[in-house]
Amino acid sequence: MVKISSKHIFRADHVGSFVRPARLIEAARKRRAGAMDADGFREIQDQCIAEIAAFQEDIGLASITDGEFRRAVWSGGVISALEGMGVRDAGTLTFKNADGTVFTPPSPYAETKLKRRGTIVADDYTYLRSMSLKGLPKVTMASPPVLHFFLGDDSFDKGAYPDRDAYFADLAAIYRDEIADLAAAGCTYVQLDDTALPCNCDTDARAAIAGRGEDADELTDAYIGVINDALRDRPDNMTIGLHMCRGNLKGMWMGEGGYEPIAEKLFNQLNVDTFFLEYDTERAGDFAPLQHLPKGKLATLGLISAKTPALENKSEITARINAAAKYAPLDQLALSPQCGFSSGGGDGQVVDMDDTRAKLELVVAIAEEVWGTA
């Protein structure tokens, strides 16, 4: 049996976001329009977070998030928390779906030198921890590479940062401060959400990166470096997960291609404990990259799709876990959805809460059958 590090191990896990309740969406609209004050909005957020935490515990999940209910989109927690960070309507990749719909999301852009306005997610953690949870509170936030990938070295004003190294040094320092605040608050489970590294496996993305005068393989090294720098002071009792997917916006995606271009460096050089890997469609490639997973690290297989309401077949998912176990020991594998259920926030999601419950109950049931525990 392969011994995994003493960090938290959840055989049935999830990425973090959930479909926003209608009253939370309406409250957010009123808040933006100035028709609701901050206290009133926070009260509704608090109520909805308490309900989604109870929902997760009722399903049998051992890691509990706040549903990402305090942010508009998955990356918004970081972007809105950084003074000097704005967005631009441009980027390397576009969202697309099977019918040809294309959408280019706004990309982060550092207009001035960055600093935290307050905490990024540490205050959110404090509220989540204040509830009497049976499970372990987990916080999620966008990874540092997300703040660079889509515009590359045009992601920052050159008057604020002369080059990528200076920009990444500041980003890493900001994340170290946040990790320190989370540790001081008692947080022991942090998940970084990343689209940059997996989309760096996409052939079109790699061509676009070359077209803007950058090298995709060098970016992989730089992204691993900035994440490691951000995490260098984390306490020994803090589990770090890295969730990687190729985009998920109401069923649309940004990239495709297996993990092989980055797998060996990713699994062996990145100082995280758990890799949440998108594996719900053929666009993510096969399981062969798992052969690079070293002892002591966990690969959480995202075999359940948040992009479609259709419920997966239990036997087929179990068979896929067994197929993955040909490349990495079963003891180093776990199961989750490939992404959050509402990473784009707002209404118009492709799954509802009944779909979500069915999918997460399936995750728990399979984990208990395969590993004997969730």
Quickly count: other Cβ atoms within 10 Å of residue 292's Cβ: 17
Per-residue pLDDT of the chain (374 residues; tens, 9 = 90+): 344 445 788 999 999 999 999 999 999 999 999 999 999 999 999 999 999 999 999 999 999 999 999 998 877 789 899 999 998 876 666 665 666 666 667 788 999 999 999 999 999 999 999 998 999 999 999 999 999 988 999 999 999 999 999 999 999 999 999 999 999 999 999 999 998 888 788 888 788 888 889 998 999 999 999 999 999 999 999 999 999 887 666 666 566 778 998 999 999 999 999 999 999 878 778 999 999 999 999 999 999 998 889 999 999 999 999 999 999 999 999 999 998 898 665 555 688 999 999 999 999 999 999 999 98
What integer pLDDT is reported at residue 348 of this predicted model?
54
CA distance 230 to 178: 9
pLDDT at position 307 is: 83
Q: What is the pTM of this model?
A: 0.92
CB-CB contact of 148 with 167 (8 Å): yes
The predicted pLDDT at position 95 comes to 60
Question: Which pLDDT does position 248 carry in this prediction?
Answer: 63
User: What pLDDT does residue 91 have?
Assistant: 66
Task: Judge whether 19 and 359 are in contact, CB under 8 Å.
Answer: no
What is the pLDDT, as a whole number, of residue 249? Answer: 63
Contact 51, 21 (CB under 8 A): yes
Give the model's pLDDT for residue 196: 85
Question: Are 287 and 258 contacting, i.e. CB atoms less than 8 angstroms apart?
Answer: no
DSSP 8-state secondary structure symbol assigned to residue 160: T
Are 5 and 296 spatial neighbours (Cβ–Cβ below 8 Å)? yes
Pick from 259, 326, 253, 317: nearest CA to 12: 317
Residue ranges of domains in the chain: 22-371
* Dihedral in degrees, nearest 10, Cα atoms 96, 13, 181, 271: -80
Class of domain 22-371: alpha beta
DSSP string, 8-39: ---SB---S--PPPHHHHHHHHHHHHTSS-HH
CA–CA distance, 119 with 174 (Å, rounded to integer): 10
Q: Mapped to the 3 state alphabet, what secondary structure does 224-289 carry? A: HHHHHHHHCCCCCCCEEEEEECCCCECCEECCCCCCHHHHHHHHHHCCCCEEEEECCCHHHCCCHH
pLDDT for 258: 85
- DSSP H helices, the chain, are 22-33, 38-59, 76-81, 122-130, 164-185, 196-199, 203-211, 216-231, 260-269, 314-324, 353-371
Max CA pair span of the chain: 58
Q: What is the pLDDT of residue 311?
A: 97
